[in-house]
A and B are shown apart, each in its own frame.
Chain A
C-alpha cells in the first residue's frame, strides 16, 4: 500500500519509494533515508509530532512536515 512516511502507524515497516528532494535536509539523506531503504516507525511523540524512525539502522526523529514529503510502500503491519 502506498502512503507517505507521515501516514505510517506505530510499528509499521515500509520501503521508501520516492521523495521531494528539495524538502528533505541533506543530513537526513546521509543518515540513510534514501529510496529503496526500509523504514520503521518506532514512536510518535505525544502530540503527534515529531516521529521517531529507524531507517537504514539510523534512529532519527523528524517532523511530520518532512515525513509528509517522503513516499513509502508499506511492507509489514
Chain B
C-alpha cells in the first residue's frame, strides 16, 4: 500500500504555543536529537493525516524573524533557503498567538516571500472570547493569501482542520503577501537583473546575514551589492516598517478587539511579581521551595536506586562465574550505570520546576528582576536560569545559557556555572563535614553542621560571581551588549508539555552524561585492579608471608586488598602526585580519590571506601566514617582527617573543576577546546591555592 509522505516544518515565534501544537499533532511520536555539529535540539515527529497520508513534522527552533541572531534561529533560515536540504518542507505551518497576532505575522509575511506554501495557525483561540477578540477569517485568508486553522492547543480544538489543510497543501497560494522590494526599487531592480533566476527575497537574506546558500557564492553577490552594515540595517528597518504597515492594514479589517473586555490579569500579577520588595521575596521563597524539594523529595528514590545497584552488584559477583568479565560487570559497569541513574530523581525534579516556571511566564519576570544585578558582573538577567539549574547539575545548566543573546554574557555564564554547588559535591561535603565539624547547636537554633553546608553553597555562588567579575575585566568586548527579553503573558502550565520536557531532558542527560561517566568508571576500575609487574598477582602470597596467621581472616583480606591498591596503576599515580598534595594536607590515598574525582566528584567517597577496604561493610557510611576517623599518618602518628585537612579538602571540592562531562558540554557549546581548558586549569589551580593557604594557616 503506497502511502504519501508530506514534509512539514513547524515555524513560529517563541511563546506562541508552537511546541504544544507539535505535541498535539504528534503525541509521543517524537525523536529528539541534535543538528549535526551543533547542540541545537532537533525535534521531529510523525502524524497520520487523512487520505492514507503520513506527515513528518520538524519542529524548528522558535524565531522572531528570518533575521537570525542566534545559533538556533540560524537553523531555520539555512533550512528555508536551501531547497536541496533533505528536510526542506513541502509545507510550512506557521504558528501564531491570537493575542500577539500583529507581531507574529511579521515572520509569516517573510516566509510567504520565500514562496513556500504556508498555512497560518492562529493558536490560543480559547482565549479570544475572554479577551474580546473576533476575527474575520475569510478576509484574513484572502489578504494573507493562505489558509487559516483556528487552533487551541490547550483544548485540542482545530487540530483536525489543521490536518486537513496540511493534506491539501498543494492548493495553497505561493504568492507573497506584499512587495517588500519597493523599499529601494533601484537597488532591488539591479539585484533582479543580476540574478534573474533567484528569488529576490532570498538574495536579500543572503546579503543581510551570514547564511550558507548553495549554488550561489556569497562573494558573487557581495562584490557589486555590498552596503555598509548601517545602510543594510536602515533598509531592514524600512522593510520591517513596510511589513507592519501591511499587517496593520490587514488586521484593521480582519480583527476587532473589544478593549472593554480585555482587562488584564497580567498587569496585576506583574505589579506583585516585579515589586521591589515582594518581587525578590517571592523569588527567594520559590527558590527555597525548589531546593527543599529537590533534596528532600529525591532522597528517597535516590536511596532506593543506591541500594538497588549495590544489591545488583553483589548479586552479580556472587552468582556469575568468577573471572575478569564478572569483575568488570560487578565493579565497573554496574556501579558506573548506578552513578548516572542516581541523579535521575534530582534532574527530573529540577526540570519539572524549571519547565513550570518557564511555561507559566514567571521565569521572564525573574530575568527582568535580576538583570541589573547580574549586569554588574558581566552576566545577564538570563544567567539566573543556568545558575539555579547548576545546583542540580552543571550540564543541563550550561545548555540553558543558550538563550542569552549576547555572546560575551553567555560565555561568562557558561564559564562560571560549574562553581555552583552541584548535587555531585553533596556526598563529599556530607562525609567530610560529619568528620570535622562537631554536631552542635549554635546561637540557639542553628545546627553547626547544617550551617557549614549552607556556607559551602554560598561559597559556590560567591565563586561564580567572583569568577564572573574577573572574566568581565579580562574579556574584551567584541559584541555590543544588548538585551531584549519578551515578557510573555501568564499561562497555566500544561501537564502534557511539562511531562514531555521532563522526560526528554532527563533522557538527554542520561544518554549524554551517562556514556562518559560509564566509560570513566570502567577505566578507573581497570587502573585500580591492574598494576605493573606481577605484584598484583602475588599480593596474596606476599601479605600472607609477611603477616603469617597473626591477623584474623578479615584483617588479612583487608591487608591484601590495600596492598593490591597500593601497587595498582592508580596506586602508582597516587604515590607519584603525593609530593604535590602533601602541602595541602593530603596523603597518597586521598590523592587517588582526588584523581578519580576528576571524572566525577561523587567518585570520592566510593574511592575512599575501596581504599580503606571495609570489606562487607563497604557501603555503610558509618563504617567508612569510622575508618576515615581512625586513619593515622604512619610518620607523624597524627590523624589524617583532622580539621585542617578536612577544611582544605572541602575548599578543594568547592572550587576545583572535577567533572569531565561539564568540560565536554562546555566544549560543545563554545565550539572550542580553549574554554574548557581555561575552566579546568584556572578553577583547579585556584582550588589548589585556596586549599594550600587554608591548610597552612590551620595546621
Chain A residues in contact with chain B, CB under 8 A? 21-22, 25-32, 34-37, 42-43, 45-50, 52, 56-63, 65-66
Contacts and interface: CB of A to CB of B under 8 A. Distances in A.
B484 interface: yes
A46 B267 contact: no
B67 A30 contact: yes
B102 interface: yes
A19 B69 CA distance: 21
B236 A63 contact: no
Contact of B486 (A48, A49, A50, A59): A59
Interface in B16-66: 64-65
Contacts of B244: 32, 34, 37, 56
Contact of B103 (A21, A49, A56): A56
A42 B369 contact: no
10 smallest beta-carbon distances between A and B, as pairs: A46-B276, A47-B372, A59-B487, A25-B482, A61-B485, A30-B65, A49-B372, A61-B368, A63-B483, A27-B484
Contacts of B276: 46
Contacts of B279: 46
A56 B240 CA distance: 13
Interface of B: 64-65, 67, 69, 100, 102-103, 106, 230, 233-234, 236-237, 240-241, 244, 266-267, 270-271, 274-276, 279-280, 364, 367-369, 371-373, 375, 381, 405, 481-489
Contact of B482 (A34, A35, A66): A66
Contact of A25 (B270, B369, B484): B484
A32 B274 contact: no
Nearest to B243: A30
B487 A60 contact: yes
A45 B371 contact: yes
A59 B269 CA distance: 14
Q: SS class of chain B's interface: helix, strand, loop or mixed?
A: helix
A42 B268 CA distance: 11
B241 A52 contact: no
B64 A30 contact: yes
B468 to A, nearest CB: 17
18 contacts: A21-B234, A25-B69, A25-B482, A26-B65, A27-B65, A34-B237, A34-B241, A42-B270, A46-B280, A47-B373, A48-B372, A49-B372, A52-B274, A56-B102, A57-B100, A58-B486, A61-B368, A66-B484
A33 B274 CA distance: 23
B237 A21 contact: yes
A62 B489 CA distance: 17
Nearest to A30: B65
Contacts of A36: 241
Nearest to B66: A30
B64 A49 contact: no
Contact of A61 (B103, B230, B280, B367): B367
A61 B395 CA distance: 28
A55 to B, nearest CB: 10
Contacts of A26: 65, 67, 69, 233, 236
Most chain A CB within 10 A, of B266, B274, B373, B483, is at B483
Contacts of A56: 102-103, 244
A47 B274 CA distance: 11
A36 B280 CA distance: 36
A56 B367 CA distance: 22
A43 to B, nearest CB: 5
A43 B368 contact: yes
Contacts of A57: 100, 102-103
A63 B219 CA distance: 37
Contact of B240 (A30, A50, A61, A66): A30
B487 A34 contact: no
A31 B99 CA distance: 14
Contacts of A50: 368, 371-372, 381, 483, 485
Given A21-B234, A47-B373, A62 B100 contact: no
A49 B275 CA distance: 13
A12 to B, nearest CB: 15
Contacts of B483: 50, 61-63, 66
B372 A21 contact: no
B488 A59 contact: yes
Nearest to A37: B244
Contacts of B270: 42-43, 52
Contacts of A49: 371-372, 375
Contacts of B64: 27, 30-31
B230 A21 contact: yes
A76 to B, nearest CB: 15
B102 A32 contact: yes
B472 to A, nearest CB: 16
Nearest to A47: B372
A43 B489 CA distance: 14
A66 B67 CA distance: 20
B484 A31 contact: yes
Given A21-B230, A30-B106, A61-B485, 15 more contacts: A21-B237, A25-B69, A25-B482, A29-B240, A32-B244, A42-B270, A43-B270, A43-B271, A45-B274, A45-B368, A45-B372, A48-B372, A59-B487, A61-B486, A62-B484
